[in-house]
Copies of this chain bind each other. A is one copy, B any other.
Amino acid sequence: MSAPARTLHLGAILAGVGTTHDDWRDPDLPGDASVDIQWYIDAARRAEAAKFDLVFIVDSPYITPDSAPHFLNRLEPLTLLSALAVSTSRIGLVATLTTSYWEPYNVARQFASLDNISRGRAAWNVVTTGLEGAARNYGRDDHFDHAERYQRAAEFVSVVQGLWDSYEDDAFPRDKAAGVFLDKGKQHPLNHKGRFFSVAGPLALTRSPQGQPVIFQAGDSDAGRDLGATIADATFASAENFEAAQAYYADLKARAKAKGRDPEQIKVFPGVVVTLADTQEEAERLAAQHEAELDLDKLLVQLGRPFNYHDFRQYDLDAPFPDLSHVSLNGYKGHAERIVRTAREENLTLREAAWRFGRWRSGFVGTPEVVADEIERWFVGRAADGFNIHVSKPGAFAQFTEKVVPILQQRGLFRTEYTAQTLRGHLGLPVPANRHAVARTLGQAAE
């Protein structure tokens, strides 16, 4: 029996006025897009009309006055996606949420509720929070240490997944004549007592048609990749170029395989910005113009973000990238370490590093054919199983869905109609059996 053909997946990163400091100045973009539910509903419906797998909400529980506009003022992911759940019918709904500053019981409950409201389309993008300042919003002077954050994350997710199995799928006979609502034998407390969390359960919510919400993961450090390889159904990757994406892809899948998992069951989604035009020259001119409009001061702020908003404006721009041995890397550690390493290996000046890393997004630039070629090259070359497309520029996303998606469909890379009702279905992931039902079956088989 041959393996099923790989199919490309597409996600849309919905971020109102965009994740950079300057996207919001696009004349076609409403300045209040990040807090306008109607902007999100329209964008999600466009992505659904184009048969995208999912919409993706990035998040962080901390801002400074220097944060980019979207971060300064935006809707919260779970409330936002619950509103989108009843404004769409097929597209997956991915919310970023940190394991560092929430209670597992509340997280389990809200995602399970979103999963029921959407009838099986919820996903949780697990992060541990890269900005140390977040600690001060949650009663702590210091952010959790990087290693501890990832240990907490692993236990947190296992508690949440345990709570999601509180009820077997047939726990509720709801027999009005006999007066039996619940089959009590199919309700299971968790009784978890671990290093970081103690949670008794059960959760007061049944499983959705996809069994459990999908798990995304977005950390890029060694610990982050290890967590992803352990728990994730999909990862949100940030890759500078094709080679870096290929290396990440191979590394993640090898880690998953080493843990006894099927590497095809963990999908890699790099985030990309697409700049499209009818001619290659025009697309490159648009990209160059965008570059020219970038403000070096804001690139320096953005460069500082993985270093907990370390202020790079204090250094000489044309001197070598500064020595940061006094700066904590206990934030976006993987990304910060990569910047420091690359700057040293390639002898970058601060100005060069700001231009290269102050944007932190890879991009495809060209005609629809050229962009489709790039997508195919990354997909076939195992640099990606899918892409998370940045959707802030209204014209650019419409062009992508109208001109690039049809080419991907003609090439047989992307679906022309939804064939499933749930996000797991779109991603080709199985519905996990309830652990207690499995235990019951195994028990019977052993008798």
Residue A80, interface by CB 8 Å: yes
User: With A35-B116, A78-B78 in contact, do A72 and B182 touch (Cβ < 8 Å)?
Assistant: yes
| B-facing residues in A125-164 (Cβ within 8 Å) | 133, 136-140
CA distance A113 to B174 in the complex (A): 35
A117 interface residue (CB < 8 Å to B):
yes
Q: Chain B residues near A347 (CB, 8 Å)?
A: none
Find chain B residues with CB under 8 A from A106 CB: 61, 101-102, 106
Tell whether, in the assembled complex, residue B101 and residue A181 are in contact, meaning their CB atoms are under 8 Å apart. Answer: no
Given A83-B82, A110-B76, residue A202 in contact with residue B37 (CB < 8 A): no
Residues in B with CB closer than 8 Å to A137 are: 105, 199-201
CA–CA, A280 to B112, complex, Å? 44
Could you say which residues of chain B place their CB within 8 Å of the CB of A133? 200
| Complex interface: chain B residues within 8 A of A79 (CB) | 78-79, 82, 110, 113-114, 117
B199 with A117: CB separation less than 8 A: no
Is there a chain B Cβ closer than 8 Å to A63's Cβ? Answer: yes
Which residues of B are found within 8 Å of A167, using beta-carbon distances? 73
- Is the CB–CB distance between A138 and B72 below 8 Å? no
**Residue numbers in B under 8 Å from A24 (CB-CB):** 174, 176, 181
CA A85 – CA B75 in complex, angstroms?
14
Contact assessment for A110 and B78 in the assembled complex, using a CB-CB cutoff below 8 Å: yes
Note all chain B residues with C-beta closer than 8 A to A338: none
Query: What CA separation (Å) do A179 and B294 show in the bound complex?
Result: 12
CB distance from A178 to the nearest CB of B (A): 10
Cβ A73 vs Cβ B205 within 8 A = yes
B197 touches A69 (CB 8 A): no
A333 to B116, CA, bound (A): 34
A31 interface contact, C-beta 8 A: yes
* CB of A362 within 8 Å of the partner chain: no
Q: Mark A25-62, 1 if CB is under 8 A from B, else 0.
A: 10100011001010001000000000000000000010
Which residues of chain B are near A110, meaning CB under 8 Å?
A: 76, 78-79
**Whole-angstrom distance between the alpha carbons of A206 and B179 in the complex?**
49
CB contact list, A58-117 vs B, under 8 A: 61, 63, 65, 67, 69, 71-76, 78-80, 82-83, 85-87, 101-103, 105-106, 109-110, 112-114, 116-117
Report yes or no: B181 in contact with A31, Cβ–Cβ below 8 A: yes
Cβ B174 vs Cβ A32 within 8 A: yes
Q: Which of B172, B198, B204 contacts A71 (CB 8 A)?
A: B204
| CB of A238 within 8 Å of the partner chain | no
Asked whether any CB of chain B lies closer than 8 Å to the CB of A326, the reply is: no
A202 to B63, CA, bound (A): 7
A187 within 8 A of B: yes
Query: For the complex, is A184 an interface residue (Cβ under 8 Å from B)?
Result: yes
Contact A105 B101 (CB under 8 A): yes
The interface residues of chain B lying within 8 Å CB-to-CB of A69 are: 181-182
Q: Could you tell me if A109 and B176 are in contact, using CB atoms closer than 8 angstroms?
A: no
Scoring A85, A199, A200 by chain B CB atoms within 10 A of each residue's CB, the highest score goes to A200
Q: What is the distance, in angstroms, from A348's C-beta to the closest C-beta of chain B?
A: 27
- Say yes or no: A86-B37 contact (C-beta < 8 A), given A24-B181, A69-B181, A105-B138: yes
Partner of A187, one of B65, B102, B113, B172: B65
Does the CB pair A31–B176 fall under 8 Å? Answer: yes
**How far apart sit A140 and B199, CA to CA, in the bound complex (Å)?**
9
- A136 contacts B200, C-beta separation under 8 Å: yes
- Which residues of chain B come closer than 8 Å to A179, judged between CB atoms? 25, 295
Q: List 27 A-B contacts (CB under 8 A).
A: A24-B176, A24-B181, A25-B176, A25-B179, A31-B176, A41-B86, A61-B106, A63-B202, A63-B204, A65-B182, A65-B184, A65-B187, A73-B167, A73-B205, A73-B206, A75-B117, A76-B113, A76-B205, A79-B79, A79-B113, A79-B117, A80-B82, A83-B83, A101-B105, A101-B106, A138-B199, A139-B197
6 pairs of A and B residues whose beta carbons are closest in the complex: A31-B174, A82-B82, A76-B113, A136-B200, A79-B82, A79-B113
Which residue numbers of A lie inside 8 Å of B, CB to CB?
Answer: 17, 24-25, 27, 31-32, 35, 37, 41, 61, 63, 65, 67, 69, 71-76, 78-80, 82-83, 85-87, 101-103, 105-106, 109-110, 112-114, 116-117, 133, 136-140, 167, 172, 174, 176, 179, 181-182, 184, 187, 197-202, 204-206, 295
